[in-house]
Amino acid sequence: MSTSDTNPNDPYGNYRGPPYDYGTYQGPPIPPIQPTQQRVSKKNVWFTSAVVIASLGLFGTICTVCGNTMIASINVSSTPKDSGASSPPVAQIPILHNTYSGHLDMDGYSARFIIASVSENNTTGSFTATGNDGCPTQITNGTVSADGTIKFTMTEETVLGTACEGGSGDFIGNVQPNGSMSGSWSISNQPQGSWDLS
C-alpha cells in the first residue's frame, strides 16, 4: 500500500481511495452544425419571409378593394336627394254630391233646377243622375274632369197635357272647390241661358 492510497485519518491505515476519480458530468458532446443544415435553415428563413411578404401584399390588396367598395357605398348612400322643386300634386277628379239644387235661367225666366241620385265613376269621371226643371228629367253623358270641367245632357220626359214635351239641352260648366257648379246651356248648339247648382 502506498502512502497515496492511505487515509491519514484512518488509524488502521486500511482505507483506500476510489479506483477512479469523480468529475463533473458534461453530457454527450453536441455535434457541430453541418454546412448543409445551415443552407437548409437559410432557405427556410427566405421561404418563410417570401410567404409572409406575399400574404401581406394580398391582404393589402383585399383591404384596398374592400375599402374602395365601402367608400363607394358610403358615397352612394350619402348622396343627397335632388333638392329641386317638388313635383306638383296630381289633380283629382272632383267627387260629386248625391243631390244638388239651383236655378235654370232662360230669357229672364228662372226655374228651379234639381239634380238627384248622382252616380259617378271616380276613375273616369263619368256620371248619370235624375233631375227636375219643372218636368222630370234624366241626366246622361255626364263627365267631370280633373280640371273641374263638367258636361252633361239633360232630357225632359214627355208628360201629356203639360209643357213637358221631351226636349233636351246640353250643359257645360265648372265645379268650384267648394263643390258648387255653374255654367251655360244650349239646345242644338244655340245658347239658351245659364245654370247653377250647389
Q: Which three cell numbers stand for residue 155?
A: 232630357
pLDDT score recorded for residue 149: 97
Contact 127, 152 (CB under 8 A): yes
8 A C-beta contact, residue 139 and residue 115: yes
Strand partners, 165: 158
In this prediction, residue 192 carries a pLDDT of 94
Return the DSSP state at 5. Answer: G
How far apart, in Å, are the Cα atoms of 155 and each of 121, 124, 140? Answer: 21, 22, 8
Predicted confidence at residue 32, as pLDDT, reads 59
Query: In the block, which residue shows the cell 214635351?
Result: 165
Which residues of the chain, if any, have pLDDT below 70? 1-86
Which residues fall within 8 angstroms of residue 21, CB to CB, at 6 or more apart?
none
| Cα 87 from Cα 16, distance rounded (Å) | 122
> What span, in angstroms and rounded, lies between the C-alpha atoms of 161 and 180?
35
How far, in Å, CA of 33 to CA of 37, rounded?
Answer: 6
E-only strand ranges, 57-125: 100-106, 109-120
Phi, psi of 159 (to 5 degrees): -125, 110
CA-CA distance, 84 to 141, in Å (whole number)?
42
Q: % helix / strand / coil in the chain, to the nearest 5? A: 25, 35, 40
pLDDT digits (tens, 9 = 90+) for 63-117: 454 555 444 444 444 445 555 666 777 779 999 999 999 999 988 889 999 999 9
Q: Are strands 149-156 and 109-120 parallel, antiparallel or unpaired?
A: unpaired
Does the pTM of the predicted model rise above 0.75? no
- Dihedral angle computed from the Cα positions of residues 35, 36, 39 and 40, in that order, rounded to the nearest 10 degrees: -140
